[in-house]
Amino acid sequence: MASPAPGRLAELAKLSCKVFQTVYNPTAARTGNKILRQRLQGPTMTAYHPQKLIHFRDIKALYPQLGLIDVDEKERLDEIARRKRRGKGAPKKGQGRRASVKKK
C-alpha cells in the first residue's frame, strides 16, 4: 500500500486541528501553547493564604476612646523595663558588640 501524499497529510492535520480545537503548526515552531493551555495559577495562589485576622491593635486603633489595654503587650514592656533595671537590656544604638570589636 502506498503512503498518502504529503499535501493530503497536511490537510488532514489542519482538519484535525480544527475538529479538536488545537493550533495548526506545520513548521513545529515553539509557540508557548503548552503554557497557555494550563489552568491559571492566580486563584489557587490567593486561596492558599488564609484570610487576614483582626488583631487587638487594630481594634484599639479603631476605638481609642474605650481605653483598651493589651495585657500581653503591657507584660512584654514591663519585662523589658525589669531587664533594663538589672542591666540585661539591649544596648543603645551603635554601642553593641560590633562597635566594641571595631574600636580595638
Tens digit of each residue's pLDDT (9 = 90 or more) over 7-52: 999 999 999 999 999 889 999 899 888 898 899 998 888 888 888 8
**Matching residue, cell 497536511:** 10
Q: Enter the C-alpha cell of residue 70.
A: 493589651
Q: What is the pTM of this model?
A: 0.43
Tens digit of each residue's pLDDT (9 = 90 or more) over 41-97: 988 888 888 888 889 999 999 999 999 999 999 999 999 999 999 999 888 888 877
Element (H, E) at 38: none
For residue 68, how many other CB atoms are within 10 A of its CB? 14
Amino acid (one-letter) located at 98:
R
